[in-house]
Structure 1
Amino acid sequence: MLDVRRLQVLRAVVTSGSVTAAAAHLGYTPSAISQQVAALEKQAGVALLERVGRGVRPTAAGRLLTEHAAAIGRQLAAAEAALADLREGRTGRLAVRYFATAGSTLVAPALARIRADFPGLRVDLRMTDPDDPLPEVARGHADLAIVVRPRDKRHDGVRLVHLLDDAYRVVLPTGHRLAAKRAIDLAELAGERWVGSESPGPCLDTVLEACAAAGFSPDFAVESGDYATAQGFVAAGLGVSMIPLMGLAGRHPGTVVRRVRNPEPVRAVHAAVRDASLGQPAVEGLLAALRAATM
């Protein structure tokens, strides 16, 4: 197999017209250039240069290899430029996973910003509800995911970057006995029928842990697959529900929303990023855009 570096040395000799000029151009000694050409001739099995006065000129084989060396040089330059674009985040692919309520509030404005900064970047964007996207990040199937996790939770190979704390509110029917209060102690909801708004996982765990701290376990009379449906069930008088602020963008007219205290359930929203992806310009740019979207 022909050596690419030696091909470029031959090209320098042919284009400059002499071994001495090629040596000066490449920063080698003339003897080093001659050795490289001799080694290439041995690989090729044919003479590549012939002497003409004080200079040299290529043989037919030398001209052929010089033309190919020029093509290889252009390809290498194109490869280096493409690699630089990829390394700097100007091109490439970024796989992002998110849950539904983070879509419009966090992901959409963040992606609008990063696409302005990295116009050649392709974003593979997928919603994962009700599945937990963190394993996709851990396995390398995604570069970044929006997840709910406790503030101090750690995962091998994955960095959790805190974005915001999303407090839960209690959603009551308009005629409920507690609807006139501005803030409700969580223990006051112990005897209520509940409308479930969360699938099993970190979000539901946040509510259950808060209720346990208040001394009770919720009595779920109805299960709902999303926040809008849960509000409809509440408005129909089927129970009360706990919904995070990010899930209350559209409020049902038949309900009232009140703050909860003692304790206030709060889910911590993070960006989960592979340790190996940290430092990449596109990933760091997306993290900065997500932080900006929380302000």
Structure 2
Amino acid sequence: MVAILEIGAFITSLLAAPLADAKGRRFTVRLGAAVFSIGGAVQTFTRGYRSMCIGRIISGFGVGMLSMIVPIYQSEISPAEHRGRLACIEFTGNIVGYASSIWIDYFCSFITSDLSWRIPLFIQCLGGVILAAGTFVIPESPRFLIDTDQDDEGLRVIADFHDGNMDDPITRSEFTEIKEAILADRAVGDRSYRALFRRYKGRVFLAMSSQAFAQMNGINIVSYYAPLVFEQAGFVGRDAILMTGWNSLFYMASSVVPQASDFAEWSGWGL
């Protein structure tokens, strides 16, 4: 029931990039959030094991799309000099959400009815709905707009990220940089995964291996199955959830350390 979510996430993580190139980043985020909310609703109102697994895999479809497209969108709207820092902040936000979910589980464990697990499952739907609603407010990625020959709109979005002046040298320089990169991609012609591996083999394997080994060190065991692990360590029932909550706080705090180091280097303070 827990692991099946990853199957759905794996499938849509491969499909999200082509969809984002065809329909846009905002649409892909909106669709991923909607699918995630639908999966959460199926889980919330489940009547048995089978429907729970169906809800989990539907939520996985949403998680896969969002895990792929949100970092892409963020990198495309971020200044190059702050892109890494903002990506770190985004991931810390993910961990804050994870920690919040654990503590919500803990407080709901004091409820004696089946609402003790239906309420946490329903709350995830609210997060998905809020994210989907936000896509009607945020701008489209300027790279997608320029890539689809909407140059004026792309320039306007870039200008909005700065001081709103479309003739500003920084705005024009960023627009030109994006346009030249897109024209270079078009000159190659092939945007398939095979071409990506062929052109940027070293970068792709570096990024993939860092992600893969980060998961293979056992973090998903801690994140997904921590209550069971703590029960096997001697913590019974609610105490196991409480220990998972404390673990999530250390998890969250440790994610701030690289950002603090990066900020100190950027500000000239040093560590």
Short-chain TM bin: under 0.3
Structure holding more strand per residue:
1
Q: Which structure shows the higher helix fraction?
A: 2
User: How high is the TM-score relative to the length of structure 2?
Assistant: 0.21
The structure whose Rg is larger is 1
